Amino acid sequence: MNGSPRSRFVIFLILICNLIMPAQTTIPRTQKPILYGRHWVAVTGKPIAATAGAMIFQKGGNAVDAAVAMIAATCTMWDTLSWGGETQALIYNPHTGKVIGINALGVAPTGATPEFYRSKGMTYPPEYGPLAAVTPGTPGGIMTMLAEYGKLSLKDVLAPAIEMADGYAMDDETSRTLERTVNKDWIKQWKYSKALFYPHLGEKQEAPAPGEIFRQPDLAATLRKLVDAEQKALKQGKTRKQAIMAAYDRFYKGDIAQEFVKGVKEEGGLITADDLAKWRVHIEEPVTTSYKGIDVYKLNVWTQGPAMLQALNILENFDLRSMGYNSPLYINTVYQAMSLAFADRDFYYGDTYSQPAKPVAGLLSKEYAKQRAKLINPDRNDPDIKPGDPYLFQADTKNPFTDLLNGWKNVPATTQTLAPQPHLVEDLPMEETDPFYAGTTSVEAADAEGWVVSVTPSGGWIPAVVAGRTGIGLSQRAQSFVTNAADGPYNVIEPGKHPRVTLTPTLALKAGKPFLCFSVQGGDSQDQNLLQFFLNMVEFGFTVQRSTEAPNFNSFQMRSSFGNHEIRPGRILLASSTPQAVRDELRRMGYSFAPFEERTSGPINAIFLDQEHKTMWGGSSNHGDDYGIAW
């Protein structure tokens, strides 16, 4: 064998990795079964929410109706989100053959300026509390989705959530989250939160115990007000769409809005009645790229989703399959492709409805990707990867921030010392303890008519401020803004502006037909895990379920979207099953290891659309409580 001793060793590792990969002539056993469906599939973060989706399908609803019901259920059970958070969705419309984007992300409220936060002694908006809030987006988002693309009434699709708000059996994970001392320290500061979450105040178990009926009468009343507004409009002769939007108006302009604003002010927050009334859901065209004949769709750069598309464009210049699944060369190549894409995310991504315009065409240019691919070092990680200049790949535009780009460093320009946070508890897995992975759930739905929906709803997770007697928890998404242009000139907080978020639903089409629908929770790790999920299926032939369970790796070589926005170049999370020889080679390549985890793959939820057999295959990660139902 020719070559240096080190190159021969790398080739040996690749051969070993290829040998230990299970053959794909038969379907390898997974911890969860594939969900085979002919009529519909519903997958989300909790079993009870998947059941809500199934209930709506059984009522005759389509995939949009079912997705809305699942979002409502996950919000009601506080599955790392609540009703005051944000909803992002991609919808495939079989009647037009188009993919539609839903931007139901809140905006910074009146008075939320860098100067305001500095006056409070804050370098960034805080992680928790009333000053972390943007305007609520989920209620408007799901009502818009339902009105435009659903079949059923708001009364129908909210029925499971209303029944849950009247009382559902508390799950173990939420109960434990509420009982953590650091969460209690936050929640007990806020009047309505304390009353809701601690019905046994002063007892040993203050939060509802697992299996205990958890009741939310204020939230139930709010949801019934929405249904009441719809039903009154229908009786007045309004159309189905107009009736649903009457409920929308009651939330953002009516008595619900008044109580919401009153509750926010009681806790010292900034959101005004005018902020709610002016906020809008945006129905938009998503961005896309093609990878080996598969068209992958993401929401625009107000999310981090295009980073996955950029990484795919970069990786198209390499023969990944020949490297072998999770070989050192493969990991090093994919890691650096992600670093290049996320460096651009950290600098260029931000609200697409504010100026200056974002260089989206340049960022997604194949020629730009070829230039970036040349920067990948095959022998070791490069901890100094910086943003590029996509403006060079766009016509008639110049980079307005060249000075900031030239001065960019892999360390935030502004830092602050944070108090211990509720997620940082040593006896929990990294995915639950590191803010890098915080929050979110995922919702996937597909039906025989051809509707396909991917959603990543989030925000308002525990510990959340409950706004007055609405029962609605406030978002914490303002923390994803920066206050200094040197930390990301397109993402500086200002009133009316959307923060750049990590939330990232995904759809993929093959030969113009739906191929994959997938999303995941986990903060800055989301598009990393989704990228690897996609490559596992396309490059290595994994089934949808095996790909949700497969051990991925996670990089920390990007600025965290939370907390103090730190970056940790070269740090990598590997599965505990990673062979020692692979670990040794990666260490030699300059990587430092986070504590090894048994499961590093998600939790990913997905649906594979089998066009050959006209069936749907659901996949739901073995990572947590994620669950699906198919028929």
Q: What is the pLDDT of residue 4?
A: 52
**pLDDT for 80:** 83
Give me the chain's average pLDDT, please: 92
Please tell me the pTM assigned to this model.
Answer: 0.93
- pLDDT for 509 equals 98
Tell me, what's the pLDDT at 475? 96
Specify the higher pLDDT residue, 268 or 25: 268
How far apart, in whole angstroms, are the C-alpha atoms of residue 235 and residue 582? Answer: 67
Q: Note the pLDDT of residue 412.
A: 79
* 366-373 and 306-315 helices, crossing angle to 10°: 60
Q: Give 20's pLDDT tier (boundaries 50, 70, 90).
A: very low
pLDDT at 441: 87
Can you tell me the distance from the alpha carbon of 76 to that of 268, in angstroms, rounded to the nearest whole number?
A: 24
Once rounded to an integer, what is the mean pLDDT over residues 362-385? 97
Q: How confident is the model at residue 118 (pLDDT cuts 50, 70, 90)?
A: very high
pLDDT of residue 423: 36
User: Cβ contacts of residue 1 below 8 Å, gap of 6+?
Assistant: 8, 11
| pLDDT interval class at 625 (50, 70, 90) | confident
In the structure, what pLDDT confidence band is assigned to residue 523 with cuts at 50, 70 and 90? confident
Out of 217-221, 297-301, 327-331, 564-568, least confident range: 564-568
Sequence-ordered list of residues with C-beta below 8 angstroms from that of 319, at least 6 positions apart, any chain: none
Question: How much is the pLDDT for 415?
Answer: 60
**pLDDT-wise least confident of 176-190, 417-431, 478-492, 617-631:** 417-431
Taking only the tens place, the pLDDT of each residue in 45-72 is: 999 999 999 999 999 999 999 999 999 9
**Is residue 230 over pLDDT 80?**
yes
**Which tens digit of pLDDT belongs to each residue from 248-283?**
999 999 999 999 999 999 999 999 999 999 999 999
| 46 closest CA partner among 84, 68, 78 | 78
Q: What is the pLDDT of residue 27?
A: 59
How much is the pLDDT for 565?
A: 87
Confidence of residue 6 (pLDDT cuts 50, 70, 90): low
**428 has pLDDT over 90:** no
pLDDT of 121 > 90? The answer is yes
- Between 130 and 599, the more confident residue is 130
Q: Distance (Å, rounded) from C-alpha 242 to C-alpha 491?
A: 35
pLDDT at position 352 over 90: yes
Q: Residue 89: is its pLDDT beyond 60?
A: yes
pLDDT in tens, 353-365: 999 999 999 999 9
pLDDT of 227 strictly over 70:
yes
pLDDT for position 483:
96
Is 50 exceeded by the pLDDT of residue 345? Answer: yes
At 178, give phi and psi (nearest 5°). -70, -30
Asked whether the beta carbons of 443 and 457 are under 8 A apart, the reply is yes
Q: What digits encode the pLDDT tens for the residues 434-467?
A: 444 455 789 999 999 999 999 999 999 999 999 9
DSSP codes of every residue in 106-171: --PPTT--HHHHHHTT-SS--SSSGGG-----HHHHHHHHHHHH--S-HHHHHHHHHHHHH-EE--
Q: Domains in the chain, please, with CATH?
A: 22-34+285-418+499-630 (3.60.20.40), 171-214 (no CATH)
- Radius of gyration for the chain, computed over Cα atoms and rounded to the nearest angstrom: 23
Question: For residue 25, is pLDDT > 60?
Answer: no
Q: What is the per-residue pLDDT across 283-304, written as a single tens digit (0 to 9) for each?
A: 999 999 999 999 999 999 999 9
- Tell me how far apart the alpha carbons of residues 276 and 251 are, in angstroms, rounded to a whole number: 9
pLDDT at 624: 80
Taking residues 406-420, what's their average pLDDT? 69
Among 47-56, 136-145, 168-177, 407-416, whose mean pLDDT is lowest?
Answer: 407-416
Alpha carbons 239 and 567: distance in angstroms, whole number: 51
Can you read off the two tokens belonging to residue 419?
């108090």
